[in-house]
Amino acid sequence: MPFSCKYCGKQFCSEHRLPESHNCERADLIEEEKKRAAQSIDETQYVTPQPQSVPTQGGRTSDIPEGAEIYQERYDPETGDTIVQYYMPTVQKPDKPLLGITSGKELGHLLIGIILMFQSVFLMFVISFMDYLHKFPRIYILITLLGGLITIGFIGHELSHKFTSLRLDYWAEFRLEKTYALLTAVLPWFVMPGAVQVGSSRASKDEMGKVALAGP
């Protein structure tokens, strides 16, 4: 069965199918592809993937799922293929972002997060002041105000992460974490229903550090 060289287009037997085995006349294309692969590796050496975005062996470029982000490319001289490593972002920028900065899904997660956060903080203060509530019912007003302020502070903190990431040109959205959201719903002293997730693996360590440190 003849093999066709992807560079010169000629057909060869299995023994001479590789470019170096038949002294391929399009050596310039081979060198150019190697340089592109090496450049890609250099550009990603400082990549810090998100915990959910461990690179996966992707095979040929045509096999990469839609929406995947290229992590690294490596030329395989034995097969003539380019091995691609990719990962699926935890959040993806929608085709038409709302106001250019968010999505309907993020707004839904934020709304649920706000409700869970306020509920948890409110119950925490109610339990703390249980002995005084029957004597001073106006404490409920104070508790409501404190719950609102703490909830606003939490959301502001998370949005600071988000907008810092957007300024660095990396899409990011707030997402509920199932386990944390459940704990926030049932434990009054647990107040972290979710967090902002950055939808890119190409951010450098310095950039991810800026995103992590953002927020009052």
What pLDDT, on a 0 to 100 scale, did the predictor assign at position 34? 65
Classified as helix, coil or strand, 159 is helix
| Cβ proximity of 74 and 46 under 8 Å | no
What pLDDT, on a 0 to 100 scale, did the predictor assign at position 87? 65
List of residues 6+ apart from 68 with CB closer than 8 A:
58, 86, 87, 88, 89
Torsion sign over Cα 117, 118, 121, 126: negative
- Please give the DSSP secondary-structure letter assigned to residue 102: B
Amino acid at 61: T
What pLDDT, on a 0 to 100 scale, did the predictor assign at position 54? 32
CA distances in angstroms from 60 to 47, 68, 73, listed in the order given:
21, 13, 10
What pLDDT, on a 0 to 100 scale, did the predictor assign at position 58? 41
What pLDDT, on a 0 to 100 scale, did the predictor assign at position 160? 92
Low-confidence residues of the chain, pLDDT below 70?
1-3, 14, 17, 30, 33-89, 201-202, 215-216
What pLDDT, on a 0 to 100 scale, did the predictor assign at position 53? 31
What is the pTM (predicted TM-score) of this model?
0.59
| Cβ proximity of 203 and 210 under 8 Å | no
Ranges of H-type helices in 56-103? none
- Please give the DSSP secondary-structure letter assigned to residue 216: -
CA distances in angstroms from 153 to 6, 26, 123, 146, 148, listed in the order given:
58, 61, 17, 10, 9
Tokens linked to 193: 């229903």
Q: Which residue has the tokens 């001073």?
A: 136
What pLDDT, on a 0 to 100 scale, did the predictor assign at position 197? 85
What pLDDT, on a 0 to 100 scale, did the predictor assign at position 88? 67
Tokens linked to 173: 């959205």
